[in-house]
């Protein structure tokens, strides 16, 4: 079994500050500092005020639900259009 890696408080603060300032992505800073990305996410969720850890607002949830509904509707429409195309191609091939 692997032993748990311990990071200094300075490393942790440097990572959190970089994320908070928005100058580098969480993934980039994790790679740069040699910290597992899941550890970075844990640190961020444990510290209030770090970008990406705010509570999702109900209006944002509703907006995402609307977008998901639109995507599903467009997927259904795409299936229908593909079926129509296939029928037209078959008709065209029969008349050739």
pLDDT one-digit tens code per residue, 44-73: 888 765 554 455 677 878 888 999 999 999
- Helix (H) / strand (E) element for 75: namely helix 58-95
Q: Look up residue 67 and give its two tokens.
A: 């977008």
Query: Which tokens is 83 given?
Result: 């079926």
Instruction: For residue 36, give both structure tokens.
Output: 């597992």
* The CATH number of the domain covering residues in 1-53: 1.10.10
**Mean pLDDT within 73-84:** 97
Distance set, CA 60 to CA 8, 28, 52, 94 (Å): 36, 26, 14, 51
On whether the pTM is more than 0.75, the answer is no
Closest CA to 39 of 30, 47, 48: 30
Task: Supply 21's token pair.
Answer: 């300032």
């Amino acid at each position: 079994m692997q032993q748990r890696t311990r990071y200094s408080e300075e490393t942790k603060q440097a990572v959190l500050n970089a994320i908070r300032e928005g100058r580098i992505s969480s993934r980039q800073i994790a790679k740069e500092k040699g910290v597992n990305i899941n550890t970075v996410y844990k640190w961020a969720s444990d510290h209030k005020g770090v970008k990406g850890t705010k509570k999702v607002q109900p209006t944002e949830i509703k907006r995402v639900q609307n977008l998901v509904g639109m995507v599903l509707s467009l997927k259904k429409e795409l299936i229908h259009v593909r079926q129509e195309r296939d029928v037209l191609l078959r008709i065209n091939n029969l008349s050739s």
